[in-house]
Structure 1
Amino acid sequence: MKTIVRTDERILSSDIFDRDGRVARPDHGVWSEPGRDIPVYHRCGVLVVGGGPSGTAAAASAARAGADVALLERYNHLGGLSTGGLVIWIDRMTDWEGQLVIRGFAEELFDRLPADAVAGPSREDWGSQDSAKASHWAQRTAAYHGIVTWSPTIDPERLKLLSQEIVLERKVKLIYHSWAAVPIVQDGAVKGVVFESKEGRMAIMADVVVDATGDGDLFARAGAAFVNDIEEADVHHCMNTSWLFGGVDMGRWIDFKAGRPDAFSAFMARGREQLGLFERPFVSWRNDVALFMGPRQSGYSALDVDDLTAVEVRSHRAMAAHLDFFRAHAPGFEDAYLMLSAPQIGVRHARRLSGVGAVLRSQWPEGRALADEIGVSPAVSPKFPNISIPYGALVPQRLDGLLACGRHISCDRNSHGFMREIPQCWITGQAAGTAAALASQGRIAPRAVEVTALQTALQAQGVYLRAGADGAGPVAERPSLETANS
């Protein structure tokens, strides 16, 4: 185990636990699959693969821009890690001045969620440095560096339903229980995907495909370049399955944690000693529900089915062990019960696209609005200004017919620590969907989309862009991962 402490480059302190031992998989040989004709299930202008935060935003935004859209999702709901993954703490959407910079689709979601599905500070407190308010919200995942932020917790079931209804309102063809397997590539461009479902193997053809799989499954299998290096002194490469405990009193827990720091430290030390894998709870949207977004486990690959299985087994065992320990020793947890383990594993990182542009650590101090800016991320600490997200980070260096969005966009390993978060996924998804619609309607490659036209369309959808982001013409070459590392 190693403990990661809060710095100017990461918000949370956290324990990281190493993988357990596992015997290597034996070589069982191969079987040659016979060729066969595959029926075409659907044809559309824009196909979004993956209905997580970025994919939902992409599908909704492409349809709003007038495209004929299909959305393929392997689970029975939308929202991805923000719903099925129980990552119901939505990270900061305000900057350190209290300005809302994660807007557009994200703002629409919060405008439409029921009031009792959201817990967080009131708008007039965003950016407040009042010590009492900051102290209160620091215990509720909504204040950092003494500043109150808009980083609420939400009811995952309400977000599932709302996400679904928004895409259906916009006439998106929604396809659940279907897993994209192979991209269809012709002449260096993605033309659709082959997917698997209970009906067997079928294909969907599209003008533009948006890879919102989270792990870059499509662009990697289509031959696009990618990187997978990690920042070990961060949780961004760890995996776990989150869970909820019901029947708790989080008010009593917070009083214990904040009011008796020595007793809390002793509690945590005892938990690590007795359980090995150990995590503290976070607040949720209700006082009687506790959220556990760990223990975070390092050294596993999100692309290895045996590793995925091992993380699930360890996480579910940890859930039961935590219940016994917290019932016995944690104030407010005496009547806790197992409420829900996440149906989706919490993957933070697998691959990142090598794009025409990238979000880079070297850009943080300057905070300049890039010419192809399609969104703005709050900086990770008040030490830095807001960070520009370029359209080039969504565009593969060479592969055509495809855009990427979500946690696998083009960025370096430091920037991935915040670009993988749900609000940033909403932003890059909205940009990818809107750009895909423009490309489909114009019968052009995504890299040929006029940046000014894309920015105008995004601003019409409520996305926050800055005055200095005045791109002209198609996306230009931006600092890429290759040039940054050369």
Structure 2
Amino acid sequence: MKTAVRGDERILQSDIFSRDAKPPRPQLGTVHEPGRDIPVYRQCDVLVVGGGPSGTAAAAAAARAGADVVLLERYNHLGGLSTGGLVIWIDRMTDWEGKLVIRGFAEELFDRLPADAVAGPAPEDWGSQDPKKAHHWSFRTAAYHGVVTWSPTIDPERLKLLSQEIMIERGVKLVYHSWAAMPLVEDGKVTGATFESKEGRMAIRAKVVVDATGDGDLFARAGAGFTNDIEEEDVHHCMNTSWLFGGVDMKKWLAFRSGEPEAFQAFMAGGREECGLFERPFVSWRDDIALFMGPRQSGYSALDVDDLTAVEVRSHRAMAAHLEYFRKHAPGFENAYMMLSAPQIGVRHARRLKGVDAVLRSRWPEGTALWDEVGVTPAVSPKFPNISIPYGALVPETLDGLLACGRHISCDRNSHGFMREIPQCWITGQAAGAAAALAVAQGVQPRHVDVPTLQQELLRQGAFLRASDKAKATVAGEKACA
């Protein structure tokens, strides 16, 4: 076991558990698959592959911008890790001064979710450094570095339903229970994708494809460049299956954790000794439901079916061991029961696109708006200003017909620690969807989309953007000429 310590480079402090030994896979030869004709299921302007946070935002944005959109999703719901993965703690949407910078599609979701489906600090407390408020919210996943942030927890079923209804309202063609197989590529340009379902293999043709798979499956199979370097000591490459315990009293648990720190440390030490893989609970949107977002497991590949299986096995065993230990020793967990293990595995990292540009650690201290800014993210620490997300981070170096969004956009491994989070996936998804629709409308490849027009469309859709120095100079020049 290793412990990732919270600091300027990361927000979390967490135990990380190394993988079990993996036997080699036997080499059993190959089988021949004969060629066949594949029926075309649909033609559209924009095909979004993956209905997680970024894919949902991309489909909503593309449809709002006037495109005919198909959204292909392998599960029976939208929201990805924010719903099916039980990552119901939505990371910081405000900056360190309390300003809401994760806006647009994300803000629409929270405006439309029922009040009882969201738990978090009131807007007047965002950015507060009051010690009592910061102490209170630090145990409720909404205060870091002594600052209260908008980091709410949500009801995953409500978010599934709302996400689906927004798609239907905007005329998006939803296709559930369908797993994208291979991109269609013609002359270096992605023109759609094949997918598998209970009907067998079919194809969708599209003018622009948005890869929102999270693992970069489409752009990698289409031949785009990518990287997969990680920091071994960091939580951000680990995997696990989250779960919920019902029948708990989180107020009683939090009183124990905050009021008896020595007893809490003894409890955690006992859990590590008895359970091996061990993790503390987080609050949820209700006081009678506890969220476990670990134990986080290191050394496994999200692209290896044996590794994915092994993580599921370990996680489900850990869930049972946690229940037994918590019932015996944790205040507030005397009547706990297994409520739900996440139907989607918690993958944090697989591939990252090699794009025209990238979100880079070297730019963190700058705080300036890039000329092609399509979103703004809070930094990991008050030490740094807000960070600009460039459109170039969504565009492959050479591959045409495709944009990327979500946790596999172009960024370095340090920046990936926050660019993989759900709010940032909403941002990059909305940008990719709007850009894809504009590429179709303008009759150009995504890399040639007029960036000022894209920025205006994003502003129209409620996104938060800042004027770059280049844009300011242009406006100043126009005023001087006038």
CA distance in 1: counterparts of 2:469 and 2:202, whole angstroms:
42
Please say if 1:84 is aligned against 2:81: no
Rounded Cα–Cα distance in structure 2 between residues aligned with 1:463 and 1:60 = 13
Instruction: Return the alpha-carbon distance in structure 1 between the equivalents of residues 24 and 206 of structure 2.
Output: 40
Provide the C-alpha distance between the structure 2 equivalents of 1:464 and 1:232, rounded to a whole number of angstroms: 34
Give the whole-Å Cα distance in 2 for the aligned partners of 1:363 and 1:422.
22
Conservation of the 8 A alpha-carbon contact between 2:118 and 2:285 = yes
In structure 1, C-alpha distance between the alignment counterparts of 2:315 and 2:163, rounded to whole Å: 28
Q: Is the 8 A contact 1:224 1:399 kept in 2?
A: yes
The separation in 2 between residues aligned to 1:257 and 1:460, in whole angstroms, is 45
Which residue in 1 is equivalent to 2:172? 172
| Aligned partner letter, 2:440 | S
TM-score w.r.t. structure 1 length?
Answer: 0.96
Alignment map for 1:1-20 (pairs within 5 Å): 1-20=1-20
Structure 2: distance between partners of 1:400 and 1:222: 10
Shift of the alpha carbon at 1:470? 5.2
Aligned residue pair count = 472
5+ residue gaps, structure 1, are: 473-486
2:43–2:204 contact (8 Å) kept in structure 1: yes
Displacement of 1:32:
1.3
Runs of 4+ in 1 over 6 A off after TM superposition: none
Instruction: Give 1:80-159 correspondences, 5 Å limit.
Output: 80-159=80-159
- 1:461 offset after TM fit, Å? 0.4
> Structure 2: how far apart are the matches of 1:471 and 1:191?
33
Residue pair 1:46, 1:207 contacting (<8 A) in 2 also? yes
Matches within 5 A, 1:215-294: 215-294=215-294
Alignment partner, residue 408 of structure 1:
408
The amino acid that maps onto 2:15 is D
Code of the residue aligned with 1:442 in structure 2: it is Q
Determine the C-alpha separation between the residues in 1 that align with 2:313 and 2:49. Answer: 28
Say whether the 8 Å CA contact 1:451–1:471 is kept in structure 2. no
CA shift at 1:234, angstroms?
Answer: 1.5
Which residue in 2 is equivalent to 1:71? 71
CA distance in 1 between counterparts of 2:337 and 2:21 reads 30
The one-letter code matched in structure 1 to 2:21 is: G
- Look up the match of 1:202: 202
Query: Is the 1:214–1:408 contact (alpha carbons within 8 Å) kept by the matching residues of 2?
Result: yes
Distance 1:471 1:63, change over 3 A: farther
For residues 27 and 331 of structure 1, the distance between their equivalents in structure 2, rounded to whole angstroms, comes to: 51
Kindly provide the amino acid, as one letter, of the partner of residue 416 in structure 2.
H
Equivalents in 2 of 1:276, 1:179: separation in Å? 35
* Whole-Å separation in 2 of the counterparts to 1:28 and 1:367: 54
CA-to-aligned-CA distance 1:70-118 (integer Å, 9 cap, x gap): 0000000000000000000000000000000000000000000000000
Aligned counterparts of 2:237 and 2:323: Cα–Cα separation in 1: 26
1:417 partner SS: helix
Deviation at 1:22, TM superposition (A): 1.8
Q: Distance in 1 between matches of 2:143 and 2:155?
A: 20
Aligned pair in 2 of structure 1 residues 446, 469: CA closer, same or farther (>3 Å)? Answer: farther
Letter aligned with residue 160 of structure 1: K
TM-score w.r.t. the length of structure 2 is: 0.97
* Structure 2: distance between partners of 1:335 and 1:402: 50
CA distance in 2, matches of 1:236, 1:84: 19
1:445-484 matches, cutoff 5 A: 445-468=445-468
Q: Distance in 2 between matches of 1:469 and 1:455?
A: 15
Aligned twin of 1:479? none
The answer as to whether partners of 1:242 and 1:294 remain within 8 angstroms in 2 is yes
Q: Which residue of 2 aligns with 1:365?
A: 365
Q: Does the aligned pair in 2 maintain the 1:373–1:469 contact within 8 Å?
A: no
Partner of 1:331: 331
Match of 2:36 in 1: 36
One-letter amino acid of the counterpart of residue 292, structure 1: F
Write the deviation string for residues 309-346 of structure 1: whole angstroms up to 9, x where unpaired. 00000000000010000000000000000000000000
Report deviation, 1:233. Answer: 2.5
Distance in 2, Cα, partners of 1:229 & 1:467: 33
**Residue 469 and residue 345 in structure 1: after superposition, are their counterparts in 2 closer, same or farther (change >3 A)?**
farther
Q: 1:118 to 1:41 in 2, by over 3 A?
A: same
In 2, the alpha carbon distance for the partners of 1:312 and 1:440 equals: 41
Instruction: Work out whether residues 93 and 423 of structure 1, in 8 Å CA contact, stay in contact via their aligned partners in 2.
Output: yes
Write out per-residue CA displacement over residues 58-81 of structure 1, whole angstroms, 9 at most, x where no aligned residue.
000000000000000000000000
Counterpart Cα distance in 2 of 1:299 and 1:54: 26
Deviations 1:262-316 (A, max 9, x none): 1111111111111110000000000000000000000000000000000000000
2:477 aligned residue: none
In the TM superposition, residue 448 of structure 1 has moved relative to its aligned partner by 0.4
* Partner deviation per Cα, 1:176-203 (whole Å, 9 max, x = no partner): 0000000000000000000000000000
1:24 counterpart = 2:24 = yes
Q: Give the Å deviation of 1:244.
A: 0.0
User: Does 1:192 find its partner at 2:200?
Assistant: no
Q: Say which SS state the counterpart of residue 267 (structure 2) adopts.
A: helix
Superimposed CA distance per residue, residues 346-391 of structure 1 (whole angstroms, 9 cap, x where no aligned partner): 0000000000000000000112110000000001000000000000
Q: In 1, distance between residues paired with 2:303 and 2:210?
A: 20
Contact 1:85 1:342 in 2 (8 A): yes
CA distance in 2, matches of 1:218, 1:469: 35
Amino acid in structure 2 at the alignment position of 1:226: F
SS in 2 for 1:30: coil
Alpha-carbon distance in 2 for matches of 1:121, 1:394: 32
Inter-partner Cα distance in structure 2 for 1:40 and 1:158: 33
For structure 2, the residue ranges without an aligned partner over 5 or more in a row are 473-482
CA displacement, residues 238-264 of structure 1 (integer Å, 9 cap, x when unaligned): 000000000000011111111111111
Residues 7-45 of structure 1, C-alpha deviations (whole Å, 9 max, x = no match): 011111000000011211100100111000000000000
After TM superposition, give the deviation of residue 175 of structure 1 in Å.
0.2
Q: Which amino acid aligns with 2:268?
A: M
Matches of 2:85 and 2:149 in 1, distance apart? Answer: 23
Secondary structure of the 1:236 match is helix
Equivalent position amino acid for 1:200 in 2: G
Contact 2:2 2:233 in 1 (8 A): no
Percentage of matched positions with identical amino acids: 80
Q: Supply the AA of the counterpart residue of 2:36.
A: R
Shift in Å at residue 471 of structure 1? 6.0
The verdict on how the C-alpha distance between 1:469 and 1:374 changes in structure 2, with shifts beyond 3 A counting, is farther
Distance 1:45 1:201 in 2: 21
